[in-house]
Amino acid sequence: MAKKRFARPPAKPSRITTISKGFRIRTYELPPPGFNPLTASPSLLLRHGFPTRPDAKTAPELLKRWEAAFSRPRTLITPEFREVKGKYHGPAKQSGTRGRMKPADFSVANATSTNWSGSVAFPPLGHTFGWIEGQWTVPNPQAPGGGDLFASEWVGIDGAGSGDVLQAGTETDIFGIFNLRQIYAWWEWFPANEVAITNLPVSAGDTMYCLICVNSTNTATVYISNESTGVWTRFSITAPKGTTLVGNSAEWIVERPSVNGAITSLADYKVEYFDEGIAGLSDVFRIVTLGSGTPVTMTGNNNAPLSVPTIETDQLMKVNWLKSN
């Protein structure tokens, strides 16, 4: 079996946090002053929570991306978390019935969903996804007509025909007649609640990057960075009890989440771009791009389009807001 290019087993944590549904978050030791990931040994990279350095012979393009990411000056933080109970970013739901979408629903050219819009890619037959990455710009949410409106921008694995979703991204919500905005980074392993990353500052207009690596069927490591400020963090998580990662889909999504069991109205995010959209298989070195995925349009009342994706290149997608519900 070929060696995974990004995924790796979790290192010894500096802290373990347990939240509801019984799963744990592991954080890592901060590296000492002067630490250089470009020259650090594999064991030190592992200890401080950096992704495995890709092999120069078998994955030269990934090595270039890895070196570019970790050669820039950055501030690494130990993340702090707040569980947002009652707020979920779940699997793709069917338009009309709002039941869970099946893999066959993504085989049509005009795939639609009541909660997702973006690109959903599938692995070759007999394979599963082991990692995914993507970059996007945080929108400035608007509320045409007032009310409480929500928009989520994320990358993830599973949820297109499976009951689990491993995902991380940003939340851009707006509330009431005073247009109070709430913008923050988060992660989730559905069916557990959303978990906010409270000490990673995020503002409208910032460029965000996220890499998710699968370590096993119930553990993964999340790397999320504010590219505009240079602040980033990483942590390992376990799946909720009874949940197993399937690895059957990879996605780059603008979503309207569910709050207290009800699907929300979509905030006006104007236009969203995802780039550097690639995912890798877990057992062999092969890349699947955002552009090879199925474009999915979000629909609302009377199946009217709310949010529509356009694939621009293999790794670039534009998603346009049309209406809230």
pLDDT at 162 over 60: yes
Please, which pLDDT band fits residue 2 given cuts at 50, 70 and 90? very low
Q: For strands 265-266 and 149-150, give the pairing.
A: parallel
From CA 241, how far away is CA 171, in angstroms rounded? 25
Class (C level, CATH) for 76-321: mainly beta
Please, which pLDDT band fits residue 3 given cuts at 50, 70 and 90? very low
DSSP designation for 98? -
Please, which pLDDT band fits residue 314 given cuts at 50, 70 and 90? very high
DSSP designation for 227? T
Lowest mean pLDDT among 48-57, 150-159, 182-191, 294-303: 48-57
3-class SS at 65?
helix
pLDDT in tens, 42-69: 999 989 999 989 989 888 888 988 898 8
- pLDDT for 12 equals 45
DSSP designation for 31? P
Q: What is the mean pLDDT of residues 8-32?
A: 66
Q: What is the largest CA-CA distance in the chain?
A: 58
- pLDDT for 23 equals 65
pLDDT in tens, 101-142: 988 889 888 899 999 999 999 999 999 999 999 999 999 999
Q: Which two tokens stand for residue 109?
A: 């050219």
Who's near 291: CB < 8 A, 6+ residues apart?
119, 277, 311, 312, 313, 314, 315, 316, 317
CA 38 to chain centre: 25
CA distances from 221 to 184, 214, 218, 271, 286 (A): 19, 7, 11, 29, 20
3-class SS at 185?
strand
Return the CA Rg of the chain: 19
Q: What is the mean pLDDT of residues 151-176?
A: 96
Closest C-alpha to 52, from 44, 60, 73? 44
Domain boundaries along the sequence of the chain: 76-321
CA distances from 206 to 87, 135, 155, 282 (A): 23, 11, 16, 31
Who's near 174: CB < 8 A, 6+ residues apart?
141, 142, 143, 148, 149, 180, 181, 182, 267
**Mean pLDDT estimate for the chain:** 90
Q: For strands 294-299 and 112-113, give the pairing.
A: parallel
Q: What is the mean pLDDT of residues 291-317?
A: 96
pLDDT at 11 over 60: no
Please, which pLDDT band fits residue 8 given cuts at 50, 70 and 90? very low
pLDDT in tens, 253-298: 999 999 999 999 999 999 999 999 999 998 878 899 999 999 999 9
DSSP designation for 45? H
pLDDT at 98 over 80: no
